[in-house]
């Protein structure tokens, strides 16, 4: 499994997303994924599944240091004392002494970003988190965090797939040594609506989901965290790593619509506009 390593991050490019998983199903799916070779598990306090994941991690038989574990603090828990309690509660539920990556899940309107990031930096100094990150941050918010506050941001987790441009975020992240982790990488089942993707998939003897996933994983400094509750889907996502896309495939994918944002709650920031396409 290829590793993204800016600033010592050591994050496997293909991760295992757990949004909307819970209870026994979640624990079983995580145990199964770890048995297949996944080593990057993504969760959040808001998902309500950290206890199930903690059970899977404690019972899998793997050394803790072999697993890259990420969790996120919800946007109404960013006041420093509340953030600290949230982090410690996540650690207890996950049955671990530290998180490899701890992210602000969403920017909150009117938040004191400096205070939140300084609280996270103290948690890092104390060994509770190895790296701090953000999620759903625009370029302006990343610039405030990195250039204005001086926080050592290791990762920005954003919605990213073949139908949504994230060029501005990627450009800033790469220029500042920040990894980008793509959630909703399979575009929530919409990929089969595009005959261009269907043709590329047929050419490679693959599924449209595998093509979309490999397109992401081929990109510098980009990881992806697809959710896959069933073993067949977990194996299919791993198999995507062996696909070799060519320049024509990438040209066709580049021409797909890039304005299909699927996650846009009422508290979202003002998103970066899509980059202009080359003529």
Residues 6+ apart with CB under 8 A from 58: 95
φ/ψ of 155, rounded to 5, equals -155, 145
Q: Is 183 a catalytic residue?
A: no
Taking each helix axis from N to C terminus, what angle separates 50-59 and 80-94, rounded to the nearest 10 degrees?
Answer: 40
CA atoms lying within 13 Å on the CB side of residue 120: 30
Distance CA 156, CA 158 (A): 6
**Which residues pair with residue 157 across a beta bridge?**
135, 181
Distance CA 21, CA 18 (A): 5
Q: Residues 38, 47, 102, 160: which is the catalytic one? A: 47
Residues 6+ apart with CB under 8 A from 177: 6, 7
- Of 36, 173, 15, whose CA–CA distance to 101 is shortest? 15
- 152: number of Cβ within 10 Å: 16
Q: Which of the residues are catalytic?
A: 47
């Amino acid at each position: 499994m290829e590793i993204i390593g800016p600033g010592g991050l050591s994050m496997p490019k293909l991760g295992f997303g757990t949004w909307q998983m819970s209870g026994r199903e979640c624990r079983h799916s995580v145990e199964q994924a770890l048995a297949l070779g996944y080593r990057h598990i993504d969760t959040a306090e808001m998902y309500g599944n950290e206890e199930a994941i903690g059970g899977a991690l404690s019972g899998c038989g793997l050394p803790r240091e072999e697993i890259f574990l990420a969790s996120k603090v919800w946007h109404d828990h960013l006041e420093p004392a509340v953030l600290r309690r949230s982090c410690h509660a996540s650690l207890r539920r996950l049955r671990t002494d530290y998180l490899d990556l701890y992210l602000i899940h969403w920017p909150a309107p009117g938040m004191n970003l400096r205070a939140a990031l300084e609280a996270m930096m103290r948690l890092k100094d104390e060994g509770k988190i190895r790296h701090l990150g953000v999620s759903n941050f625009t370029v302006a918010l990343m610039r405030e965090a990195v250039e204005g506050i001086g926080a050592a941001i290791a990762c920005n987790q954003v919605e990213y797939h073949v139908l949504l441009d994230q060029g501005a975020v990627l450009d800033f992240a790469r220029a500042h040594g920040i990894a980008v982790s793509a959630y909703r990488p399979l575009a929530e089942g919409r990929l089969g609506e595009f005959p261009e993707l269907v043709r590329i998939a047929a050419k490679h003897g693959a599924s449209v989901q595998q093509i979309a996933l490999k397109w992401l994983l081929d990109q510098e400094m980009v990881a992806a965290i697809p959710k896959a509750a069933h073993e067949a889907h977990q194996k299919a996502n791993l198999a995507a790593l062996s696909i070799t896309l060519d320049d024509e495939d990438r040209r066709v994918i580049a021409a797909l619509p890039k304005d299909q944002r699927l996650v846009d709650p009422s508290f979202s920031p003002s998103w970066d506009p899509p980059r202009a396409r080359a003529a």
